[in-house]
Structure 1
Amino acid sequence: MAHPRAAEAGKDPEDARLDKRFWLLVVGAIGVVYGDIGTSPLYAFREAVRAASGGSPANTEAVFGVLSLIFWALVLIVTLKYVIVLLRADNKGEGGTFALMALGLTVSKRSSPLLLALGVAGASFFYGDAVLTPAISVLSAVEGLALVSPVFERWIVPLALVVIVALFAVQSRGTARVAQFFGPLTVFWFLMLGGGGLWHVVDNPSVLAALNPWYGLQFLVSHGLLGLTVFGFVFLAVTGAEALYADLGHFGRKPIQVAWVGFVFPALMLNYMGQGALVLADASTIQNPFYRLYPEWALVPMVVLATAATVVASQAVITGAFSLARQAIQLGLLPRFAVRHTSEEMAGQIYLPRVNWLLLIGVVFTVVTFKSSSNLASAYGVSVTATLVINSLVAFFVLWKYWRWPLWKVAALMLPLLVVELTFFAANAMKFFEGAWFPVLVAAVLSLIMFTWMRGYRILSRITRRDETELDWLVRRLEAKPPARVPGTAVFLSADVNAAPTALMHNLKHNRVLHERNVVLSISTDTSKPRVPRHERVHIDRSNEMFTRVVATYGFMESPNIPKILEGCRRKDLNIDIGATSFFLSRRSLRPSSKSEMPRWQTRLFIWLARTSEDATTYFRIPTDRVVEVGTQVAI
């Protein structure tokens, strides 16, 4: 929002210099958006140069080649693709894999299966990233203690586990209080990154020549398979780039762009250049060039600061995992999970207990299995490169069909980026047996779960609709032969307001009564919008006196809330007192059928997922003492 004085002066409403809130958003973006990529200097340069040196002492060719590749990877992938292009491809101000997918779905129904498959794959690989990021970040920070004293070396894994368990344990309290410290802390972290690097660049300014792309290209061409391996490690410098787009809705395009170009990118490159200058001066520092940038007296403070920075980076990924899971639930890709809102002011502050503890188990397993950031480096790149490639493929479609760019123009922009990203992916895939199998396994399992849920739910809906009665037909029958009426209001939840809900039919069959007022309520998700304006949320149909149809529509980034739906009804002159209303819900008991359309193992998986689904009463926030559940058995 523009500053009032800026508007009066006729200035550009996006003039950052006159808008205090703009700079607060910039600081916030530095803390949340760039927390992940800001921890990459802890391990990216070290692992890439080690690989480039092939076990020999680090030499000028390896250092210059790696620095050149890091710089141009950040320019092409982060600056060009995300900061300049994708940040403009927003869906009502929101970004991320599902937001991009939803844009594509609005312009082409024929391509929807492919776009949906890409969206599912992108989300699945993101969770591989969500497991690996806290593990590699915290391990790489704590490993600095080994430089203080060799005694600490055997305590690295236990200390990392303590930090990780504490991080996940506080998630239920919400991130609102912690988040206010993220920005200033990460700003200080980036200042230390840039300052530590600048000190050594001044000592050896010739290292700046590595910005020439020739050094990177020459290294790749002249080293064959080794060059491709090094390319995979170079990609560690780009991890976290996907957060730029995913957090678009939280901070806006301009603050994210200004933070990157004016502060984060220069600080990162100064640090990488400083590490390069240090290693060229003393090849033995490749053991841990990041911490060697600083004097011995600053080592312990830097380890503490690095650990805090990795907690920030991990928190951003965990929060993203919560948000992505809620979107998947709303889009019908996952069963209902418990969603706890940890802030009354900020709708995005949510906590999903099941996702939190599953992530914790995954992160602890990763730390115990891989034991060091060097071992994890081989596993880390695959999930992020896969996410980047998928985003590029969907973006190609959006630029072509949604923005209506000429095909040649889209190809000229996106194909070179795709070639670079596919090369990154191939380089990381080469490390499959060294650890890259782990994020692939995580993504495969999650994709299987999501596709099973979608397929099973589609079959279940078809079976249910086959047995349902049209509400209009039921109304005619009830008008011809009215049942006994009882005082009060009954709300029947239904997937389709034009069909008579199962709970209604059972109530008529067994109790032979009908309430004075009956509301058939359907909650739907608009897959093309992240959020639905409040005034568009509720649609009421009073076409007959016996039943009132209510459709409440939510975006794919929102959580349904029945008490708030009833508030929306009151604003449209449909007064429903929640304390004097009975809510009738259908509870399906599923069992496998010998004629199931799915393989038996998949049918059982779907039934298990349905049984673990969050109770509708809790999920929709209905008062438990006002709920009547009617059970039915369905063979699927």
Structure 2
Amino acid sequence: MSTEEVNATTTTTNQDSSSNIKKKPKLRRYDSLDLESASVRGHQPHGSKKMSWPVILSLAFQSIGVIYGDIGTSPLYVYASTFSNGIKDNNDIIGVLSLIYYTITLMPLIKYVFIVLRANDNGNGGTFALYSLLCRNARVGLLPSQQAEDTEVSNYQLQLPSNRLGWSLKVRSALENSKFAKYVLLFVTMLATSLVIGDGVLTPSISVLSAVGGLKEASPVFTEGRVVWISVAILIMLFSVQRFGTDKVGYSFAPIISVWFSMNAGIGLYNFIKYDPTVIKAVNPWHIVQYFMRNGKEAWVSLGGVVLCITGTEALFADLGHFSVRSIQISMSMITYPAIILAYSGQASYLRLHPDEVSNTFYNAIPAPLYWPMFVIAVLAAIIASQAMISGTFSIIQQSLSLGCFPRVTVVHTSDKYEGQVYIPELNYIIMFACVCVTLAFRTTEKIGNAYGIAVVFAETITSSFMVLVMILIWKKHIIWIILYVVCIMSVELTYLSAVLYKFAHGGFLPIAFASVLMLVMFTWNYVYRKKYYYEMENKVSTETLREIAKQSNFCRIPGLAVFYSELVHGIPPIFEHYVGNVPALHSVLVFVSIKSLPISKVPPEERFLFRRVPPRDLHVFRCVVRYGYMDVRNEHEHFETMLIQRLQEFMRDDFWLHWDRNMKGELGDDRVELVEDEHENEDDFIRNGDDNEEVIRRKEEELLKEMEVVEKSGRAGVVHMMGESEVMAAKGASLGKRIVIDFGYNFLKRNLRQTHDKVFEIPRKRLLKVGMTYEL
């Protein structure tokens, strides 16, 4: 229930109880905390409010500096990577330019900007967002946050069977009834995420190395070795400042990238007019056919270089949450797309007259007076492109962590103003080490390009596969539109994928190896995470057991409020019984807190906490779910325990009026309200024959105030945070694979990469008590 509803009920006067009760809002509550914890009543999709044009245009300008750095710096190295063995036929330049035209038009512009961006999850993008969207519209999820009860909640938008759904219903039923298909979906989601993170390793290396490579043309003093070491120094500096967060420079990136695009467009137009305007004939796709007819297999292999012109398009989708669909459509269509088309056209015109300079086309084509200004802007643009990709990698890891697919690493929120800006120290230095090693090992952009292409195309192909499912299950498009998408988009991507996989032995193995390691980490953590959760579900403490514990003669209550953390949402975790079995004492008030990550982007603050009372009432035991979306950022300035106590008192007022309304009616009166009868088993005197309603209300309000005072006094007496530290091990008789995953893989990750709840909620160490127990899975 929202705060407004609670306030409305508590301000009702007692002078005419009958009329007052009628004026109260309808109070509704499900008896299943697990079910209601998946419902966010106040949730509104991101971007649902209409934005004014000034706001849209402002976001469009800001997006230039955040999401287009990678695709904007691709002219630095595309031609060099495509013609790695030199240009054999001058007409091949026209064929490659035609390929670039149509690749950029089909992939970033048509596919992502005008199709994929529409498949956002409440305004947020990325692979996990698409997976979340599918899970909320069909029962295809494996995560504990998507159980059977959740399917009835409106937030999940599940549809009832209907004949009008036709073959869309058949596809959905096949996926829902196949456990293998569910595992494949989760596996593919993890794979795409791992590839994008691998992209975050290669982007800084190839961007910085390409930009600094301009020094070789300026002076013979700058040899290849020195260029490599300068690039390494810039990379180390780049990763060292990550802890300060991108908020420190804000959107100052946008003017720099705008200057970069303007100069690229201007120089491209200058070269186009000066050298060979006839390259405009590349708009005719027949030149692509002729290019393949002349070069055969070599043309197919060269696609691995051409595809680098669309690097960063996956990040464009992942960063959607910072902007809006319309703002990205404007900035891409009006600025980015024309600028890079002109840049590639100008370079092609230059190469038509200087084909032997293809290894460093970008800098050779710059007019002499603009060389050094362009060099400085190129280095800055490369750093910005790397920064955006690194920040995007951190955000992806945060999403994975929220959905139980990554170990609990330390996540630092670097901005109070901009959502989603996070810094992960462990990952930052791992990526920095990987970038430095890649730069030192490959040394040239051509060799890094071989590895770079696989990460880019593989991730985009997976996105297209998810889009086909979205079209079938959610949009319910006609089969003709789906076939058209597969033929025009996916077939092109699969062709590019086959070309980049050909270079597997020449560096293409690197992103696959990196993604495999990440996949192993994610799968191991997620597998044990689910097993552990379901173990607690099967072995939770029942209400009867809690009553027996309370009746024990050696059981005593001590002053204070205890907060017991658990992964379990519905019920009391088994570790509690283990605790009271060894320490037969409980604080005056006990709250079981569990964190539930919902497959939505954000949970409104007023819907963050959800409470239930655990009978018997005189125990003062409550269950609480703290709900977060995968893009939620914790407010650093709000104390968690203060918010918890405040929301608990609001719940107690809500609970009082709900049951008063119920008893006044003598029945629920609304089939949506289902209450557990034994929560209020001692309320026989609530309404009796002939009792004065006003006196009853006064008496019950006094009881409510006394109970709230118990919570207040307990909070002042001291809050103790009790945290279950369960150790997991494979059960006796488990298979060898299961023992390896649980006993070695999971426990190794838990020991070395762990962000406990005491860090998440700023729990003082002096008031933290950890309770250990071993689970045999």
Q: How high is the TM-score relative to the length of structure 1? A: 0.92
> 1:319-355: CA deviations, max 9, x gaps?
0111000111111111111011112233312111111
Distance 1:428 1:477 in 2: 66
Partner of 2:403: 331
1:221 shift after superposition? 4.1
Aligned mate of 2:211, from 129, 141, 144: 141
- Amino acid in structure 1 at the alignment position of 2:751: R
Q: What aligned pairs does 1:113-152 form with structure 2 within 5 A after superposition?
A: 113-152=183-222
Partner of 2:704: none
Q: 1:349-378 CA deviation, whole Å, 9 max, x = no partner? A: 211111111111111111111011121111
Q: Does 2:505 align with 1:433?
A: yes
- Residue 403 of structure 1: which of 471, 475, 482 is its match? 475
Aligned to 2:726: 588
**3-state SS of 1:573 partner:** helix
| CA 466–38 in structure 1, closer or farther in 2 if over 3 Å, else same | same
Opposite residue 81 of structure 2, the aligned amino acid is E
| 2:106 corresponds to | 76
Q: CA RMSD in A?
A: 2.1
Contact kept, 8 Å, 1:489 with 1:582, in 2: the verdict is: yes
Q: Contact 2:265–2:339 (CA<8 Å) still a contact in 1?
A: yes
Q: Give the 3-state SS of the residue equivalent to 1:629 in structure 2.
A: strand
> Could you tell me which residue of structure 1 aligns to residue 683 of structure 2?
none
**Equivalent pair of 1:65/1:216 in contact (CA under 8 Å):** yes
Contact 2:561–2:717, Cα closer than 8 Å, also in 1: no
Change (3 A) 1:14 1:469: closer
The worse-fitting range, judged by mean Cα deviation, of 209-218 and 374-383 is 209-218
Map 1:238-253 → 2, pairs under 5 A: 238-253=310-325
Is 1:44 the counterpart of 2:78 in the alignment? yes
Q: Deviations over 1:147-187 (max 9, x none)?
A: 01121113111100110000000011111022321101000
Which amino acid in the other structure matches residue 90 of structure 1? N
Matched, 1:554 2:628: yes
Residues 610 and 596 from structure 1, CA distance in 2 versus in 1: closer, same or farther, beyond 3 angstroms? farther
**Deviation larger for 439-448 or 567-576:** 567-576
SS of 1:405 mapped into structure 2: coil
2:302 to 230, 235, 245: 230
1:357 aligns with 2:429: yes
Q: Tell me what 2:250 maps to.
A: 179
Cα distance in structure 1, aligned partners of 2:426 and 2:77: 31
- The answer as to 2:94 corresponding to 1:64 is yes
Distance in 1 between residues matched to 2:766 and 2:478, nearest whole Å: 59
1: CA distance between counterparts of 2:411 and 2:716? 21
Which of 67, 70, 73 is equivalent to 1:33? Answer: 67
Query: For the structure 1 residues 588 and 578, does the alpha-carbon distance in structure 2 shift closer, same or farther, using more than 3 Å as the test?
Result: farther
Cα 1:543–1:590 shift into 2, 3 Å: closer
Check 1:293–1:582 CA distance in 2 against 1; reply closer, same or farther (3 A cut).
same
Distance 2:383 2:765 in 1: 38
**1:118-162 Cα deviation digits (max 9, x unpaired):** 211110111111110000000001111000112111311110011
Q: Tell me the CA shift for residue 498 of structure 1.
A: 4.0
Q: Matched residues in 1 for 2:110 and 2:332: separation?
A: 12
Q: Does the Cα contact within 8 Å between 2:559 and 2:717 map onto a contact in 1? A: no
Question: Which one of the candidate residues 437, 446, 450 is aligned to 1:378?
Answer: 450
Question: Helix, strand or coil: the match of 1:469?
Answer: coil
Determine the C-alpha separation between the residues in 1 that align with 2:758 and 2:574.
Answer: 17
CA distance in 2, matches of 1:579, 1:234: 68
Secondary structure in 2 aligned to 1:247? helix
Alignment deviations for residues 273-320 of structure 1 (CA, whole Å, 9 cap, x no partner): 100110112223223111122223432322221111011000011001
Check the 8 A contact 1:540/1:551 in 2, yes or no.
yes
Aligned in 2, Cα 1:635/1:15: closer, same or farther, shift over 3 Å? closer
Number of the residue aligned with 2:750: 610
**1:542-581 map, 5 Å:** 542-544=613-615, 545=617, 546=619, 547-558=621-632, 563-564=639-640, 566-567=642-643, 570-571=646-647, 573-574=649-650, 577=715, 580-581=718-719
Query: CA 1:578 to 1:123, structure 2 compared with 1: closer, same or farther past 3 Å?
Result: farther
Deviation, 1:41, is: 0.0
Counterpart in 2 of 1:255? 327
| More displaced stretch, 282-291 vs 320-329 | 282-291
Comparing 147-156 and 66-75, the one that deviates more:
147-156
Change (3 A) 1:555 1:13: closer
Q: Is residue 501 from structure 1 mapped to residue 577 from structure 2 by the alignment?
A: no
The whole-number CA distance in structure 2 between the counterparts of 1:211 and 1:14 is 36
Q: CA deviation at 1:208?
A: 1.1
Inter-partner Cα distance in structure 2 for 1:117 and 1:123: 10
1:232-266, Cα deviation, whole Å (9 max, x unpaired): 21101011111221111101111111111111111
CA–CA distance in 2 between the matches of 1:158 and 1:611? 35
> CA 1:279–1:436 in 2, change beyond 3 Å: closer, same or farther?
same
Cα drift, residue 444 of structure 1: 1.1
Q: Structure 1 residues 384-393 or 280-289, which shifts more?
A: 280-289
Q: Cα offset for 1:193?
A: 0.7
In 2, distance between residues paired with 1:387 and 1:306?
Answer: 26
Structure 2 residue aligned with 1:272, among 322, 344, 348?
344
Indicate conservation of the 8 Å contact 2:98/2:285, yes or no. yes
Residues 568 and 534 of structure 1: is their aligned pair in 2 closer, same or farther, counting only changes over 3 Å?
A: farther
Is residue 391 of structure 2 the alignment partner of residue 319 of structure 1?
A: yes
SS in 1 for 2:404: coil
In 1, Cα distance between equivalents of 2:717 and 2:517:
43
CA contact (8 A) 1:90 1:99 kept: yes
Task: Give, in angstroms, the shift of residue 578 of structure 1.
Answer: 8.6
Give the secondary-structure state (helix, strand or coil) at the position aligned to 2:288. Answer: helix
Q: Which residue of structure 2 lines up, in the alignment, with residue 8 of structure 1?
A: none
Greater alpha carbon shift after TM alignment, 559-568 vs 426-435: 559-568
Per-residue displacement from partner, 1:489-548 (whole Å, max 9, x unpaired)?
A: 011112224433355334422231111111111111112x01112222211112532211
Aligned residues: 616
Tell me if the contact between 1:537 and 1:568 (Cα under 8 Å) persists in the aligned partners.
Answer: no
- For residues 466-485 of structure 1, the C-alpha deviation after alignment (integer angstroms, 9 at most, x for no partner) is 55422x12332134336211
**C-alpha separation between the residues in 1 aligned to 2:471 and 2:607?**
28
User: In the alignment, which residue of structure 2 is the partner of 1:107?
Assistant: 137
Tell me: CA distance 1:469–1:326, structure 2 relative to 1, closer, same or farther (3 Å): same
| 8 Å Cα contact 1:503-1:629 kept in structure 2 | no
> Which SS does the other structure have where 1:310 is aligned?
helix
Shift of 1:607: 1.4
| Partners of 1:187 and 1:212 in 2: CA distance | 30
- Aligned AA (2:628): Y
Change (3 A) 1:507 1:14: closer
**Does the CA contact (< 8 Å) of 1:497 and 1:520 recur in 2?**
no
Name the SS of the counterpart of 1:474 in structure 2. helix
Aligned-pair identity in percent equals: 33
Distance between the aligned counterparts of 1:230 and 1:376, measured in 2? 14
Residue 224 of structure 1, CA deviation: 2.1
Matched, 1:455 2:595: no
1:378 partner SS: helix
Alpha-carbon distance in structure 1 between the residues aligned to 2:332 and 2:366 = 24
For the 8 Å contact 1:340–1:351, the answer to whether it is kept is yes
Q: 1:162 to 1:273 in 2, by over 3 A?
A: same
Amino acid corresponding to residue 25 of structure 1 in structure 2:
L
The gaps in structure 1 that reach 5 residues or longer are 1-11
> Hey, what's the Cα distance between the residues in 2 that align with 1:530 and 1:564?
21
